[in-house]
Amino acid sequence: MRLLVTGGAGFIGSEFVRYWLKNHNQDNIINLDNLTYAGNLDNLTNIEKFPNYQFIKGDICDAKTVNNAMKGIDIVVHFAAESHVDRSILEPSKFIQTNILGTAILLESALQHKVKRFHHISTDEVFGSLDLNSSTKFNEETPYNPKSPYSASKASSDMLVRAYYHTFGLPITISNCSNNYGPYQFPEKLIPLMIINAIQGKPLPVYGDGLNVRDWIYTEDHIKAIELILEKGAIGETYCVGGESEIANVDVVKKILSILNKEEKLINYVKDRLGHDRRYAISNHKISTKLGFKPAHNFESGIKSTIAWYQNNRPWWERVLKGDYQKYYASQYEK
């Protein structure tokens, strides 16, 4: 099989590329990524010389590049996106461009090239926000109710993917996953940001009252869910994927501090995110009963191995912290 992976130099996409080449070594992977601030070829150094791996630096919004990359492809796994909610508040237009237009260009090309499967990676944020005091979880029937420019752009891309299935018969699947964490995550996101600041003895900026809840899934479990969907999922279907670990932000931060043996006085409550979704929770009922998915990691084991990775890979994040990231950090946290 020949797979076109978009966004394979990012956090989750690179986990997929590393995992797939290790476990499906008869397959070929073409990784199409334009290396935005979040794309990092350091995530792929151990596989870059594999004969069945090829990297193309290119933009999913460029139809010519996409059509060239699509030649002879059996399966598209589409990760490429602008992925950070805070940046979507600072600059929504980039999200509309990449997440909506880029997905539309990929879908059209996949249709023209008659790919056997287009798998679209989406998010639980498309469903909106849940009350803190309810036990409701998102599932495949939950109506879309996105609240941020990021989630609105992902919801739009999901709708386009469904439209290409219903209108043109493109063989699609979609997964809507909860918050990922693990090695190689860009330090703008909660968990790596808090680990790195704690290691450096810097303040940990918790938005609002810190009681917002997220469901956390270890990246490798997300990749295994995608593998199950590619191998056994039904065409046209959507699968929700969660880590079965709902935790309040401040408890995530306290956990990190306690594992690193640092004091809680490093916690700094700061101005809340605009339109901050209160709670996400997602049901694994469909993917567990239909495809046999069960996350292998609980938060306790996943956060320990994630922290150990950041402790042992200091050169990786020290390089990332240089340059543009400093400007972003200052504009987000030091205004």
Q: Give the binding site for ligand NAD (CB under 6 A).
A: 6-7, 9-13, 33-36, 38-39, 59-61, 79-83, 98, 102, 121, 123, 154, 177, 179-180, 186
**CB 206 → ligand DAU: shortest distance, Å?**
4
- Would you state the structure tokens that stand for residue 142, as one six-digit string? 């939950």
The catalytic position among 15, 82, 125, 246 is 125
Instruction: Measure the N-to-C terminal CA separation of the chain; round to a whole number of Å.
Output: 50
**Integer angstrom CA distances of residue 94 from 43, 101, 149, 154:** 24, 10, 10, 12
Q: Is 157 in the site for ligand DAU (CB under 6 A)?
A: no
Q: CA nearest 99: which of 52, 135, 143, 148? A: 148
Q: Is 147 in the site for ligand DAU (CB under 6 A)?
A: no
**CB 186 → ligand NAD: shortest distance, Å?**
5
The DSSP 8-state label assigned to residue 182 in this structure reads S
CB 241 within 8 A of CB 12: no
User: Between residues 266 and 287, which has the closer beta carbon with respect to ligand NAD?
Assistant: 287
Among 6, 99, 109, 123, binds ligand DAU (CB under 6 A): 123
CB 181 within 8 A of CB 302: yes
Q: Which phi and psi (to 5°) does residue 120 adopt?
A: -105, 125
From the list ligand DAU, ligand NAD, none, pick the one residue 249 interacts with, judged by a Cβ distance below 5 to 8 Å according to partner type.
ligand DAU
Residue numbers 188-207 binding ligand DAU by CB under 6 A = 189-190, 193, 205-207
Angle at 310 between CA 151 and CA 255, to 5 degrees: 70
Q: Which phi and psi (to 5°) does residue 176 adopt?
A: -110, 110
- Would you state the structure tokens that stand for residue 92, as one six-digit string? 């929504």
Q: Is 256 in the site for ligand DAU (CB under 6 A)?
A: no
**CB 1 → ligand DAU: shortest distance, Å?**
27
Q: Distance between CA 275 and CA 242 in Å, rounded?
A: 23
From the list ligand NAD, ligand DAU, none, pick the one residue 28 interacts with, judged by a Cβ distance below 5 to 8 Å according to partner type.
none
From the list ligand NAD, ligand DAU, none, pick the one residue 247 interacts with, judged by a Cβ distance below 5 to 8 Å according to partner type.
none
125 catalytically annotated: yes
User: Between residues 20 and 280, which has the closer beta carbon with respect to ligand DAU?
Assistant: 280
Q: Which one of 81-89, 132-140, 164-172, 298-306 is the stretch in contact with ligand DAU (CB under 6 A)? A: 81-89
The catalytic position among 59, 124, 158, 277 is 124
**CB 141 → ligand DAU: shortest distance, Å?**
18
Q: Is 225 in the site for ligand DAU (CB under 6 A)?
A: no
User: Between residues 212 and 306, which has the closer beta carbon with respect to ligand DAU?
Assistant: 212
Q: Which stretches does DSSP call E strand in the chain?
A: 2-6, 28-33, 53-57, 75-78, 117-123, 172-177, 179-181, 204-207, 213-218, 238-241, 246-248, 267-270
141 catalytically annotated: no
Three-state secondary structure call for residue 75: strand
Q: Which residues are catalytic?
A: 124-125, 150
Residues that bind ligand DAU (CB under 6 A): 83-85, 123-125, 178-179, 189-190, 193, 205-207, 212, 214, 249, 273, 280
